[in-house]
Chains A and B, each alone.
Chain A
Amino acid sequence: QVQLQESGPGLVKPSETLSLTCTVSGGSISSYYWSWIRQPPGKGLEWIGYIYYSGSTNYNPSLKSRVTISVDTSKNQFSLKLSSVTAADTAVYYCARVWRIAAAGAYWFDPWGQGTLVTVSS
């Protein structure tokens, strides 16, 4: 079955850009949507955005100005960049496969990666 694994630096300085990669194994990244979701320590889940394997994207309006999600089908990977980070961006970042029913505006996530903690601190 499909498995996802996040990777990237665990520590990022304030004002810099957070960069993470999600590697998909056990299946092709093609023909699906893929998403990033984060969870600050002790808090709830926040959707960041998703990307189709073709490259089309949709972002959380509250983060849209700072977020870029991209896909590399040759490596079966997709990536997240979040610019101008502050301590409020400290969180566990998850990647997940998106299931979608376009006509119903339905989107849900399964499976998820194990998550990676990114701390924003100088």
Chain B
Amino acid sequence: SYELTQPPSVSVSPGQTARITCSGDALPKQYAYWYQQKPGQAPVLVIYKDSERPSGIPERFSGSSSGTTVTLTISGVQAEDEADYYCQSADSSGTVVFGGGTKLTVL
């Protein structure tokens, strides 16, 4: 199976834009998904199929894809957005893989 690579940490001031990247060789051919996980809680889906936002997820969360990199963008970051973020994809055989996670710190 392949790997997904995320930066360990991203820091941003409130109101600014946070961008979290995820790189993987199969991403041009496979969709990516993003999950938010706050301490002591289960992950929550925030983006699916590269750029779709589930109902109930604020509009400030968006996703994009370019080549082997997908990006989660959080516009107008709020203190409540401080969390770990994981990207996820799957290969053609249905084997699922997660990125290592990125800790978003709101300064």
Would B48 and A112 count as touching, CB distance under 8 A? no
CB within 8 Å of B: which A42-81 residues: 44-47, 50, 58, 60-61
Would A47 and B96 count as touching, CB distance under 8 A? yes
Contact residues in B for A61 (Cβ distance below 8 Å): 1, 95
Would B90 and A105 count as touching, CB distance under 8 A? yes
Q: Chain A contact residues: over half helix, strand or loop, or mixed?
A: strand
CB within 8 Å of A: which B54-88 residues: 54, 86, 88
| Shortest beta-carbon distance from A92 to chain B in Å | 9
Interface string of A94-122 (1 = CB under 8 A from B): 10000101001111111111110000000
Would A106 and B95 count as touching, CB distance under 8 A? no
Contact residues in B for A101 (Cβ distance below 8 Å): 31
Would A106 and B97 count as touching, CB distance under 8 A? no
Contact status of A108 and B97, CB under 8 A, knowing A45-B86, A61-B1: no
Q: Chain B contact residues: over half helix, strand or loop, or mixed?
A: loop
Would B45 and A109 count as touching, CB distance under 8 A? yes
Would A108 and B33 count as touching, CB distance under 8 A? yes
| Shortest beta-carbon distance from A94 to chain B in Å | 6
Contact residues in B for A105 (Cβ distance below 8 Å): 30, 90-94
Would A107 and B45 count as touching, CB distance under 8 A? no
Contact status of A45 and B43, CB under 8 A, knowing A105-B30, A105-B92: yes
B44 at the interface (CB under 8 A from A): yes
Contact status of A107 and B98, CB under 8 A, knowing A45-B43, A112-B43, A112-B44: no
- Which residue of chain A has the shortest Cβ distance to B99 in the bound complex? A44
Contact residues in B for A94 (Cβ distance below 8 Å): 42-43
A107 to B96, CA, bound (A): 7
Contact residues in A for B97 (Cβ distance below 8 Å): 47
* Sampled A-B contacts (14; CB under 8 Å): A35-B96, A44-B100, A45-B86, A45-B88, A50-B94, A58-B95, A94-B42, A94-B43, A105-B91, A105-B94, A107-B90, A109-B88, A110-B48, A112-B42
